[in-house]
């Protein structure tokens, strides 16, 4: 497959980017809940989450690749990993669009978890002792609010293999989604079996990593 570096790098980049945005955004919304910023972020998250994938891709291409030619309308076609990593004009749109779709859901989970954590007695006790708000958020809120996210991230690992057929088609790159679809059309059973086997292994690995991360982050789970 000529564009295999695009598949691997694109998946890794958009997943990491989504986490970098979703976790701080969810905490901000929880701390500033029912304010203008929270309402705007909630509205954008709902709109993005409800929007059909292809519609978001086409809007991004129309605005940022055709009307204002800042980025390329297709992903990188290079076979070099370094060339793909440095080709920001070609890779920005697919990575950002996929990340936005994940952020819309992850930020809601993070907001809900952070709001539950803020209601706990140890948060109130830390504030009553006069601990600065920054330390309350970093030491007590962030670590405990991220526990449900660890499970969600572990369950999301198999999606890195599953790919996104619509995104791959719109941005014109040969990803694993198109590979699986083409294998179905041609009855390529070795590819289908390998794809299914890898999906099962990633599901087990994701659950295992989530359990390990929870035991590391929360000593109460280790004691139980």
| C-beta of residue 126 within 8 angstroms of C-beta of residue 99 | no
Q: Is the dihedral of CA 195, 100, 9, 54 positive or negative?
A: positive
Distance from CA of residue 79 to its chain's centroid? 25
Vertex 29: Cα angle to 23 and 30 (nearest 5): 90
Q: Could you count the other beta carbons within 10 Å of the beta carbon of residue 219?
A: 9
Q: Which domains does the chain have, with CATH numbers?
A: 4-223 (1.10.3720.10)
- At 8, the pLDDT band (50, 70, 90 cuts) reads low
pLDDT digits (tens, 9 = 90+) for 151-186: 888 888 877 776 678 888 888 877 777 788 888 888
pLDDT digits (tens, 9 = 90+) for 58-108: 999 999 998 988 898 888 777 676 777 777 888 888 888 888 988 988 999
pLDDT digits (tens, 9 = 90+) for 94-147: 888 888 988 988 999 999 999 998 888 888 888 888 888 888 888 888 888 888
Query: Which residue in 60, 81, 78 sits closest to 70, CA to CA?
Result: 60
């Amino acid at each position: 497959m000529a564009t295999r570096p695009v598949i691997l790098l694109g998946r890794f980049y958009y997943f990491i980017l989504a986490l970098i945005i979703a976790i701080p955004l969810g905490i901000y919304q929880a701390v500033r809940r029912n304010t203008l910023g929270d309402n705007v972020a909630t509205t954008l998250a709902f709109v993005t989450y409800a929007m059909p994938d292809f519609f978001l891709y086409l809007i991004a291409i129309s605005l940022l690749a055709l009307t204002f030619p800042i980025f390329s309308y297709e992903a990188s076609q290079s076979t070099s990993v370094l060339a793909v990593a440095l080709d920001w004009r070609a890779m920005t749109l697919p990575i950002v669009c996929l990340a936005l779709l994940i952020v819309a859901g992850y930020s809601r989970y993070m907001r809900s978890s952070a709001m539950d954590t803020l209601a706990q007695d140890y948060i109130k006790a830390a504030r009553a002792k006069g601990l600065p708000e920054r330390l309350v958020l970093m030491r007590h809120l962030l670590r405990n609010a991220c526990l449900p996210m660890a499970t969600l991230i572990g369950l999301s690992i198999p999606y890195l293999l599953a790919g996104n057929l619509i995104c791959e088609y719109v941005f014109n790159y040969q990803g694993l989604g198109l590979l699986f679809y083409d294998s179905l059309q041609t009855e390529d059973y070795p590819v289908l079996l390998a794809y299914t086997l890898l999906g099962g292994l990633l599901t087990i690995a994701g659950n295992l990593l989530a359990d390990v991360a929870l035991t590391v982050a929360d000593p109460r789970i280790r004691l139980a």
